[in-house]
Amino acid sequence: MVTEQEKKTRKVQQRRLDRQEKIREATIELLKTKDVNDLSLYDVAAEAEIPPSSLYHFYPKIDDLLTDVMLSVRDRLNSLYQETLKNSDITEWRQLSELLFKSSQQFHNTHPYAPKLMLGLLPSTSIAKARLTRLHDERVRDFEIFDYYFHLPPLPDDKNLFEIAEVIGNVVLSLGYMAKGTVTDSACREAILAVNGYLANYFPPYMTLKSQDDKE
């Protein structure tokens, strides 16, 4: 049975989570019209309709807030990618990177705040470092996706090739975004070519698909 103290603790924790989400959404709303470098904690507090002191409790510096929002936005992009995979008929390994970067293009162009955090120039090295750290973490995700669909050849133990591949693709998208202010079809196509060209150093032209029994 849940005690009254536990109920009270859960209520406080939920209020904290709700307040943080409100702050994130306020930041996203501001980024629709403001550049990352022009954003301040005062702006966010006003948009979220909370006292600045309350905002500082969660995020002492603007870098802390932008890092948290960037990671949250990246999680949304990953969810879109996973959903796209579920609805796709995968027959060759090149499709996986194609779907990843086409999902990325769709997400960035329908959520104009996203590329400001994930593709544009960032105001500090700490945010850029967090972005790279997330890419480092996602190498395991990418390995598991490839491994789910295909019988893979022997690969380096650290799986860094997946991290490097995504960095290559994101650099191409970033160059296109900073030049055009949007993720163009051309930039997306070049990112896919660059990534698949790199992965071709480790993968054969064709890999055997796993059967449903193998996947389970």
CA dihedral 59, 65, 71, 76 (to 10 degrees): 110
**Does domain 62-215 sit in CATH 1.10.357?**
yes
Predicted confidence at residue 43, as pLDDT, reads 95
Question: Which of 132, 114, 115, 15 is closest to 73 using CA atoms?
Answer: 114
Question: Which of 209, 160, 168 is closest to 192 using CA atoms?
Answer: 168
User: 123 falls in which pLDDT band (50, 70, 90)?
Assistant: low
3-class DSSP assignment, residue 150: strand
The pLDDT mean for the chain works out to 89
pTM: 0.85
Please give the single-letter amino acid code of residue 36: V
Predicted confidence at residue 2, as pLDDT, reads 67
Give the CATH fold of the 1-60 domain: Arc Repressor Mutant, subunit A (1.10.10)
Average pLDDT over residues 88-109: 94
Spatial neighbors of 131 by CB under 8 A, at least 6 apart, are 70, 74, 118, 122
The more confidently predicted of residues 160 and 47 is: 47
User: 209 falls in which pLDDT band (50, 70, 90)?
Assistant: very high
Summarised one tens digit per residue, pLDDT across range 3-45 is 777 767 777 688 888 899 999 999 999 999 998 889 999 999 9
Predicted confidence at residue 114, as pLDDT, reads 92
The answer to whether the Cα torsion of 30, 31, 35, 36 is positive or negative is positive
Summarised one tens digit per residue, pLDDT across range 147-183 is 999 999 999 877 789 989 988 999 999 999 999 999 9
For residue 115, give both structure tokens.
């590329």
Residue 209 has phi, psi (to 5 degrees) of: -70, 145
The answer to whether residues 24 and 31 touch, using CB atoms and an 8 Å cutoff, is no
For residue 134, give both structure tokens.
């997330």
Question: Do 62-215 and 1-60 fall under one CATH topology?
Answer: no
The more confidently predicted of residues 171 and 212 is: 171
Locate the domains of the chain by residue range: 1-60, 62-215
How would you classify residue 192: left for phi > 0, otherwise alpha for psi between -120 and 50, otherwise beta?
alpha
The answer to whether residues 65 and 126 touch, using CB atoms and an 8 Å cutoff, is no
User: 117 falls in which pLDDT band (50, 70, 90)?
Assistant: confident
